[in-house]
Amino acid sequence: MKKTLFICYLTLTATSAAWAQSFRVQIAAYSEKQDPAYFEERGVTNYSETEDASGIFWYAAGEFQTREDAENSKTEMIAKGFPYAIVIDLEEQRLLSGVHCPYIRNGVVIIQNPKPDPSKHVIYFGFGSSGLDASSRAVLDEIAHKMKQNLQFILKIAGFTDGVGDARANLELAATRSREARNYLIYKGIRADRMIMEVFGEADPAAPNAEDDGSNEGKGRDLPENRKWNRRVTLSLETPAGK
């Protein structure tokens, strides 16, 4: 895996270097929207705000044609109280948006879209949520159809969370997510005794929840871009041995 990540990163970096580039200075990311006064008090008035699909708010301090200008802005943002300000290569981001390869940024592996075992279906959840969205219901509808077509199938449902919060609470949330999937399938006509629930909580993440800081806890800078892939339920269709 490390070798694959290294090759992907070098290939994309080499390709983007050959093209005209522009750069953005990302200054911060928060789970809640920030009031403009928060930035004004720190002397930052020219910034942009975007919200991603997982509900994380990203703040950037402009775009620049050269990395040197972007690095100067990054230094300025750090001095103004944003210690995790980083330079984003927009051309590299554009290239990466079309592939599923993880990439490396400031020494941190960012997962674009982890590809699970092809024998498993995966549904994802919002932060702290156990509600099923339209895409999750579509996946469950497909599973219900397959189970009706093949009565030998049994379904293993495994619930997971990201690494934010108390471990016990995360186990409870993972269980709730698994039950939501099971209950939806029961509503669709699948018998409960054909489904097996497993709960893992924050264990066995699909992507690192936080940067490894080298301590026993191993929890450094939060990685919200990765955490969204861990708020999931996996569903595996299986047949009893010998059938």
What pLDDT is attached to residue 32?
82
pTM: 0.51
| Alpha carbon distance 48, 11 (integer Å) | 30
As given in the structure block, the two tokens for residue 59 are 């703040």
pLDDT value of residue 183: 95
Instruction: Please say whether the beta carbons of 104 and 110 come within 8 A.
Output: yes
Would you give per-residue pLDDT tens digits along the chain (243 residues)? 333 333 333 333 333 333 345 888 888 888 788 889 989 999 998 888 888 766 778 888 878 888 888 899 999 999 998 888 888 877 666 544 444 444 444 444 444 455 556 668 999 999 899 999 999 999 999 999 999 999 999 999 999 998 888 889 999 999 999 999 999 999 999 999 999 999 999 888 887 777 655 544 545 666 777 788 889 999 999 987 645
Determine the pLDDT at residue 211. Answer: 60
Predicted local distance difference test score (pLDDT) of residue 154: 94
Domains of the chain, by residue range, sit at 2-110, 120-238
Q: Give the pLDDT confidence score for residue 116 in this predicted structure.
A: 56
Homologous superfamily of 2-110 in CATH?
Answer: Sporulation related repeat (3.30.70.1070)
Q: Look at residue 1 in the predicted model and tell me its pLDDT.
A: 33
3-state secondary structure 200-222: EECCCCCCCCECCCCCCCCCCCE
CATH class for the domain made up of 120-238: alpha beta
* pLDDT computed for residue 207 by the predictor: 76
